[in-house]
Copies of this chain bind each other. A is one copy, B any other.
Amino acid sequence: MQQTSEILRELKIKVTPQRLSVYLAFNKARGHLSADEVYRAAQKKVPAISLGTVYSILENFCAKGLLREIKIDFNKSFYEMKKEPHHHFSCRICNKIFDVHMPVCSALRTNTVDGHIIDDFQGYFYGTCAGCLNGKKKK
């Protein structure tokens, strides 16, 4: 898509088919994707794309502020389109990740604490998700 190229160019990101396919994967999924999930989605547009390239693109997009890395899962990273700051919830049963609809309290938006300068904050909740509470099967 032409407009997607524009978005990347505005961020000084060199436009390549691989990068477009990664961007579109997030645009379509709208959730939290692992590197492997991005890889599989991108392959539909660019079959020859390599996983190493996906990692490289994810790193680049995060550096440019397009994506945000989430380390709530103890085994691997997830990525999402950067939007308003919000916390995340990880279900110990089904391992799904949810956005938490709770205002991020102002104290967390401070940019300094104990003399340290803060440039990012991540809030992670762990427990049992609503779906699993209702007896739904493990994914």
B100 touches A113 (CB 8 A): yes
Residues of B within 8 A of A98 (CB): 114, 116
Cβ contact within 8 Å between A74 and B74: no
Q: Interface digits, A72-87 against B, CB 8 Å rule (1 contact, 0 not)?
A: 0010010000000000
Pick the interface stretch among A22-30, A36-44, A101-109: A101-109
Quick one: copies of this chain in the complex?
A: 2
Q: Say whether chain A's binding surface is mostly helix, strand, loop, or mixed.
A: strand
Query: Does B121 contact A108, Cβ atoms closer than 8 Å?
Result: no
Task: Count chain A residues whose beta carbon lies closer than 8 angstroms to a beta carbon of B.
Answer: 35
Other 11 A-B pairs with CB < 8 A, given A69-B74, A115-B129, A117-B127: A98-B116, A102-B107, A102-B114, A113-B125, A114-B130, A116-B128, A116-B133, A118-B125, A120-B125, A122-B122, A124-B124
Which A residues form the contact surface with B (CB < 8 A)?
Answer: 69, 71, 74, 77, 89, 91-92, 98, 100-103, 105, 107-108, 110, 113-130, 133
